[in-house]
Amino acid sequence: MDRPVSGEDERRRKERLITLVDAAHSSPELRARKVLELLRANEDVSTWDVACFCAEYLGMMGAVWPWLEGPAKRIAQLVYTAHYEHFGTELPEEAKKAL
């Protein structure tokens, strides 16, 4: 009979998995930094532009990865709420800022 997996065993399993994946693939953070560098190379792109792009792109990717659809919709709701509640103030006209 199999013994139950302890919390410590599960933690070690996750650590091994992270080590294996990180050795084979760039992390989400590194990938995001690379894309952000490309986006921010255009001086007309603001942090708000990047946030809008991210929300819309995640929404499109919900069709590819169904597990992302619900969270992407929530992010889009937040972005659109900010757009309409703060239009003409700090968000849409935000100057390019160093991130």
pLDDT digits (tens, 9 = 90+) for 68-94: 999 999 999 999 998 888 766 665 455
Domain ranges of the chain: 1-41, 43-99
pTM of the model: 0.70
For 56, phi then psi, to 5°, come to -70, -40
Quick check: helix, strand or coil at residue 31? Answer: helix
Opening angle at CA 54, ends 65 and 84, nearest 5: 120
Q: What is the pLDDT of residues 10-69, one digit of tens each?
A: 999 999 999 999 899 998 899 999 999 999 898 888 888 889 999 999 999 999 999 999
CA distance 88 to 91: 7
Are 53 and 60 spatial neighbours (Cβ–Cβ below 8 Å)?
A: no
pLDDT at residue 53, rounded to an integer: 94
pLDDT at residue 89, rounded to an integer: 65
Residue with tokens 């001086």: 43
